[in-house]
Amino acid sequence: MNMLEVRDLCKTYIVNKRQNNVLKNVNFSIAEGEMVAVMGPSGSGKSTLLYTVSGMDTVTSGSVSFCGKSIGKMHEKELADLRLDEMGFIFQQMYMLKNLTVLDNIMLPAVQSKKSTESRKEITERAHTLMRKLGIIETADNDINEVSGGQLQRACICRSMINRPKMIFADEPTGALNRTSSDEVMEELGKLNADGTTMMLVTHDVKVAARCTRVLFIGDGNIKGEYNLGQYGSTSQLRERERALNNWLLEMGW
């Protein structure tokens, strides 16, 4: 079953009275359990694609359906509820509320969710479980500026997972991290995917994309091609996957 179905998606911005067609008739789909990377040169429309298909931004024309529901027809409040309850988000900028601890930042979406019937205690326990899983349990009571960038991004992953989303959207999740932290974060995202969470992520980094099951290459506002990497197994395969992906990207004009 397709988790995300995108048909003839167009997105146009008007900048200084000039029409800028960022996305032009984009078509693709993501099946349940997939981990899809979107790659492409700067300004090709990768982030715009992520925001429009996740309901953060409006579509100019075309259709986007998430779990069979057309998000283009949804009201702003419905979209907000959808993002809160069924989607998770990770950004390059590790935004968190400055006055909350790491734990409270992670718990916040669960407390806000009207769908959730869990008590605060249960939410706290679930947040602890996630933090333990991602190896940041010791930072629970820390302020957000008392932890490292890698720890913060892992906290963002925990936050994106707290409402048990059907799909996670990540925009350059390792963009602000060093290589070690980046590997750690991708390791965790890979595990979540292995557990069944569908993911769509935008990245410039071949090492990151190599851990995905499929890569979409976007250029000039359209999907120019896609490369099926198959399920990522172990670190030993990584080098081979990177090489293959690099070759394909060269063919695509990267």
Partner 1 sequence: MYLNILKKDLKRKKAMNVILLIFIILATMFVSSSVNNILTISTALEDYFAAAGVPDYLLATTGSAADESVKQAFADVPEITDCKTESIIYMNGEVFFVEDEPIDFGNTAMYTNFSEASLCYFDADNQPITEVKEGTVFVAVKPMKEAGLEVGDVLEIRMEGVSVSLTVAGVCKDAVLGSDLMGNVRLLVNEKDFAQFSGIPDSLFGKLWYVNTTDVAAVTDALADAKGITFNGDRAMIKMAYVLDMVIAGILLVVSICLILIAFVVLRFTITFTLSEDFREIGVMKAIGIRNTAIRSLYLVKYFFTAVIGAAIGFFGSIPFANLLIGSVSDSIVLEHHNIVFINLLCCIFVVLLILFFCYTCTAQVRKLSPLDAIRSGQTGERFSKKGILRLGKTSGRPAFFMALNDILSSPKRYATIILTYTLCTVLVLILCNGANTLRSDKLIHAFGMYKSDLYLSSADMDVLNALSTGGEVLMQEKIDEIEKTLAEEGMPAECTIDMAYRFNYAHGDRTFTSMTLQGVNTTTDYYSYHEGTPPQNPSEAAITPTVSEKLDAGIGDTITFHDGTQEHKLLVTAIYQSMNNLGEGVRLHEDLKQDYSNAIGFFQFQLNFEDHPDEAEIAERAERIAELFDIDMPKTAGEVVEETTGVAGTISAMRTMMLVLSMIIIAMVTLLMERSFIAKERGEIAMLKAMGFRTGTIMSWHSLRFVIIGILSVIIGAAASPALTKLCLDPIFKMLGARFGVPFEIKPLEVFVIYPAVILAVTIISALLTSLYTKTITAAQASGIE
- Residues of the shown chain interacting with partner 1 in the complex, contacts defined by CB under 8 A: 47, 51, 56-57, 76-77, 80-85, 87, 89, 91-93, 95-101, 103-104, 107-109, 111-113, 120-121, 123-124, 143, 145-146, 159, 171-172
Bridge pairing between strands 35-39 and 61-66: unpaired
Could you give the CA distance from residue 86 to residue 111 in angstroms, rounded to a whole number? 15
Q: Least distance from C-beta 69 to partner 1, angstroms?
A: 15
Closer residue to partner 1 in complex, CB, 97/244: 97
Q: Least distance from C-beta 51 to partner 1, angstroms?
A: 4
Bridge pairing between strands 69-70 and 61-66: antiparallel
Which residue carries 């991708």 as its tokens?
186
Q: Least distance from C-beta 153 to partner 1, angstroms?
A: 13
Indicate the SS3 state at residue 206. helix
Q: Least distance from C-beta 233 to partner 1, angstroms?
A: 31
Continuous H helices in the chain: 46-53, 76-86, 102-112, 120-133, 149-161, 179-194, 206-209, 235-251
Q: Least distance from C-beta 42 to partner 1, angstroms?
A: 13
Closer residue to partner 1 in complex, CB, 16/145: 145
Closer residue to partner 1 in complex, CB, 10/56: 56
Closer residue to partner 1 in complex, CB, 84/229: 84
Bridge pairing between strands 61-66 and 214-219: unpaired
CA quadruple 202, 206, 210, 216: dihedral sign: positive
Closer residue to partner 1 in complex, CB, 18/121: 121
